[in-house]
């Protein structure tokens, strides 16, 4: 059987060599079809990888709580606005007590962490740079998948005594501690000196991730215990005598009063809740929403984001888009198959005498059919190999020129090449069958 196949393959190659240009034009559809499918699948795989990276950055099991200054339940008429403002309900805002209640009262909560952010100046050894001081707890780094380059995490005593200790980002270490170990050394943030106890591994972030995911460059942040921030930089949830006096002075001034109403009264800038199983994420988000409404006196001054749902929606959208692109690219393969069938039919007509001679010297119909089927298969397989090379080249060209991540996988190559092979067999079968059906006497008389 192998000898028969090799013999027919030799005949097919000889026929292709006799009509090089025609064979090349016939295989163009297969070449561009395979190349297009590989390139489209590479773009889809790259998009999938990007989504997985984004999910890792945001945390697949995380639920994010973000405060808003004020959110009304419904729009009010103009004449009702003043009444609402004078009788508006009081909300303490998002606080550490809210997080403590969430962790103790809601099941399947693995950890919670606050973020209290202050924009300030970092100073050390004559260098100064603006940056963000972030008040967190010891669970923050685990929730956000940070790894330590050196040093260690905060300990309970750091929070109990509101100690002036800090974990710095990789960029802060590079900028303020070049060529030295920062552990145990001090850095100034605003008017407060902090002792460095840990350094985080560098986290690679692209500009698109920072913009689309709403995250910041953590490498240039300094992280300190939340209690230290509240004690030394201010607690927005605490109403001081100065705040009361300012509110009283603003009561008769509508413009000033509006600015006071827009003041951020939330103790936290953000809160992250890590769920033990992401199957509970949506349910727990709803429970957190109802709990915070009760704790905030029915004032909805917060919003809850489930990153996994957003990323899954993006994943579904991109998957549909990739399927559409791959389907369009597959049309080229179909057109290539039709081209093979068309040329092979023409080849059958041209080679009637050859078919007649082979039948006259003892070739069976099966031999003739296998000969033309092998020729069609050879054209499609050759086009498939060339298409693979073009597809890989197109993928890298798209990544370089358009900035779109593309990943060529072995699966995409095998799929496209397998489809090209199947098309060669399917569309070559009818011409091969037609060639095998020719009667020897009729074929020999053909001019």
pLDDT in tens, 145-162: 888 999 999 999 999 898
pLDDT of residue 4: 67
**Domain ranges for the chain:** 2-54+312-445, 62-307
Q: Are 264 and 69 in contact (CB under 8 A)?
A: yes
DSSP 180-220: S--TT-EEEETTEEEEEEEEEPP----HHHHHHH----GGG
pLDDT tens digits for 359-389? 677 777 777 777 778 878 888 888 888 989 9
Residues 6+ apart with CB under 8 A from 305: 63, 64, 65, 66
Q: CA-CA distance, 269 to 94, in Å (whole number)?
A: 8
Residue 379 or 216, more confident? 379
Q: Is 118 helix (H, G, I), strand (E, B) or coil?
A: strand
pLDDT of residue 163: 92
Q: CA-CA distance, 229 to 207, in Å (whole number)?
A: 29
Q: Are 322 and 43 in contact (CB under 8 A)?
A: yes
pLDDT tens digits for 256-315? 544 445 567 888 998 989 888 777 888 888 999 999 999 988 888 888 888 766 656 666
Residue 22 has pLDDT above 70, yes or no: yes
Q: Quickly count: other Cβ atoms within 10 Å of residue 119's Cβ.
A: 9
Q: Is 119 helix (H, G, I), strand (E, B) or coil?
A: strand
Which two three-digit tokens encode residue 250?
């603003």
Q: Measuring CA to CA, which residue among 226, 253, 437, 431 is closest to residue 346?
A: 431
Q: Is the dihedral of CA 194, 195, 199, 200 positive or negative?
A: negative
Q: Are strands 186-189 and 192-200 parallel, antiparallel or unpaired?
A: antiparallel
Supply the pTM of this predicted model.
Answer: 0.60
């Amino acid at each position: 059987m192998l000898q028969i196949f090799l013999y027919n393959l030799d005949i097919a190659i000889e026929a292709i060599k006799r009509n090089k240009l025609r064979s090349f034009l016939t295989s163009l559809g297969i070449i561009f079809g395979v190349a297009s499918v590989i390139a489209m699948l590479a773009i889809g795989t790259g998009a999938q990888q990007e989504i997985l990276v984004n999910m890792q950055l945001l945390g697949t099991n995380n639920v994010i709580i973000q405060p808003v200054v004020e959110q009304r339940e419904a729009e009010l008429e103009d004449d009702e606005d003043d009444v609402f403002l004078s009788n508006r309900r009081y909300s303490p805002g998002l606080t550490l007590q809210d997080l403590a209640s969430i962790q103790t009262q809601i099941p399947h909560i693995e950890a919670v962490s606050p973020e209290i952010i202050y924009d300030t100046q970092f100073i050390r050894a004559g260098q100064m740079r603006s940056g963000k001081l972030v008040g967190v707890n010891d669970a923050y780094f685990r929730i956000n998948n940070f790894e330590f380059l050196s040093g260690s995490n905060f300990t309970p005593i750091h929070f109990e005594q509101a100690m002036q200790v800090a974990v710095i980002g990789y960029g802060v270490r590079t900028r303020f501690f070049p060529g030295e170990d920062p552990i145990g050394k001090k850095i100034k943030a605003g008017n407060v000196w902090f002792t460095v106890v840990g350094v985080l591994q560098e986290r690679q972030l692209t500009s698109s991730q920072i913009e689309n995911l709403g995250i910041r460059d953590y490498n240039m942040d300094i992280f300190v215990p939340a209690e230290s921030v509240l004690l030394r930089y201010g607690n927005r949830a605490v109403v001081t005598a100065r705040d009361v006096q300012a509110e009283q002075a603003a009561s008769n001034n509508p413009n000033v009063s509006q600015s006071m109403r827009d003041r951020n009264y939330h103790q936290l800038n953000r809160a992250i809740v890590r769920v033990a199983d992401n199957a509970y994420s949506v349910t727990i988000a709803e429970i957190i929403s109802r709990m915070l409404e009760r704790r905030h006196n029915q004032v909805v001054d917060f919003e809850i984001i489930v990153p996994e749902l957003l990323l899954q929606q993006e994943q579904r959208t991109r998957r549909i888009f990739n399927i559409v692109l791959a389907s369009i690219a597959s049309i080229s393969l179909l057109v290539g198959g039709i081209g093979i069938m068309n040329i092979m039919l023409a080849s059958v007509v041209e080679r009637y005498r050859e078919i007649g001679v082979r039948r006259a010297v003892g070739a069976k119909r099966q031999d003739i059919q296998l000969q033309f089927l092998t020729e069609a298969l050879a054209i499609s397989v050759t086009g498939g190999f060339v298409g693979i090379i073009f597809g890989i080249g197109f993928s890298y060209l798209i990544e370089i020129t358009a900035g779109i991540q593309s990943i060529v996988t072995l699966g995409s190559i095998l799929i496209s090449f397998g489809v090209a092979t199947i098309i060669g067999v399917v569309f070559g079968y009818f011409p091969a069958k037609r060639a095998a059906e020719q009667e020897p006497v009729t074929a020999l008389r053909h001019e």
